[in-house]
Amino acid sequence: MVGKNTHDMTKDRILNTAEMLFAQKGFHGVTVREITKAADCNLAAVNYHFGNKWNLYLAVFRHRWLPRAQRVRESVLKNIEKHDPPARTDIVRALSQAFLEGPLADEERVRHALLIIRELARPTEAFDLVAEQALRPLFRLIADYLRPLMPAEQGETRLNLTIFSIFALITYFNLARAAVTHMTGQEYDQDFKTLIVDHITGFSLHGLGPDRDGK
């Protein structure tokens, strides 16, 4: 049992260290030697648990990135389901709150963002993993909630583009915090994050246009 626990602890330490370094420098900017030195382990431990650097990179996404994305999705769903039935305002607000007000701590959010930004710029197999297991399910969740509330004549393409636009707003305000703070002079305290959520919700509702009842 002691040996098994030690192995698990070593594996977790390697994953945590690799995630931090891959987020900072990207896959090609990090060597296995750097990872082993920072994780206080030897090359044999990396080979034993992951086989090679590429498998370790994918493991970071499987065991660190995707579980965090699942927590975000669960937060969205939980806030939507508080309303029966949810209005379009409730859906957009739940999505905005999940990214801007929780559940990720600041340090988690930064690592999470840096990893996906690199994959968006230069997609690899890791992006395919993220797209299929995190991005597509979340997009489908929002589409399924919004579709019955939109005019039937709007069509699926218009709905998809509108959802992408909502995600674009949320992504910018979530990832470009330094730029927003620099330009506005506002720190991302709770009051300002609430203001941003209100702004995204109101702005997005204008983009959605009238609902199925013409309101």
Pick the CATH number of 58-208 from 3.40.630.30, 1.10.760.10, 1.20.1250.20, 1.10.357.10: 1.10.357.10
pTM: 0.88
58-208 has the same fold as 1-51 = no
* Longest pairwise C-alpha distance within the chain: 65
Q: What is the CATH number of domain 1-51?
A: 1.10.10.60
DSSP string, 188-210: --HHHHHHHHHHHHHHHHHHH-S
Is 207:199 a contact under the CB 8 Å cutoff? no
pLDDT (tens digit, 9 = 90+) per residue, 10-50? Answer: 999 999 999 999 999 999 999 999 999 999 999 999 999 99
Domain residue extents for the chain: 1-51, 58-208
Query: Which contacts of 61-65 are long-range, i.e. CB under 8 A and separated by 24 or more positions?
Result: 61/115, 61/126, 61/129, 61/130, 62/129, 63/15, 64/15, 64/16, 64/19, 64/111, 65/19, 65/112, 65/115, 65/116, 65/130, 65/134
pLDDT (tens digit, 9 = 90+) per residue, 92-102? Answer: 999 999 999 98
pLDDT (tens digit, 9 = 90+) per residue, 162-214? Answer: 999 999 999 999 999 999 999 999 999 999 999 999 999 999 988 777 666 65
Is 14:56 a contact under the CB 8 Å cutoff? yes
